[in-house]
Amino acid sequence: MNLNLSWMAWTWPTAIFFIVITLLLIGMGAWEYISPGGNPRIGILRFETTRGDRLFVSLLGAAFITLAWLGLIGPSLWWALALSVVYAIGVFRLV
């Protein structure tokens, strides 16, 4: 079966993005296999979250940070990446 993916702009940044997301999911799956349960806890949002929940919230927040940065600042995304990493660290520590 020959897949025609020419409709999508497969640039190196796009490929790296999908590779990183895949590695995050594989890493979280391995972590869950090694240590099941993920130590659910109640953080500042006052409801129980697991590692997977916090990863999802981190990725969702990073997407919104990046979109806001693109709309308000411009196409240089290095500071948006740094802000997203700080946000993810905050989510994993506090949520």
In a domain, 30, yes or no: no
**Other residues' Cβ atoms within 10 Å of the Cβ of residue 11:** 9
In a domain, 87, yes or no: yes
Alpha-helix runs per DSSP H in 10-77: 12-34, 51-72
In a domain, 26, yes or no: no
Of 7 and 17, the one with more pLDDT: 17
Q: How many domains does the chain have?
A: 1
Q: How far apart are CA 35 and CA 54, in angstroms?
A: 16
pLDDT tens column, 55-92: 999 999 999 999 999 999 998 889 999 999 999 999 99
Per-position DSSP letters for 73-95, written without gaps between them: T-S--HHHHHHHHHHHHHHHHH-
Residue type, 83: L
Domain that holds residue 76: 41-95
In a domain, 12, yes or no: no
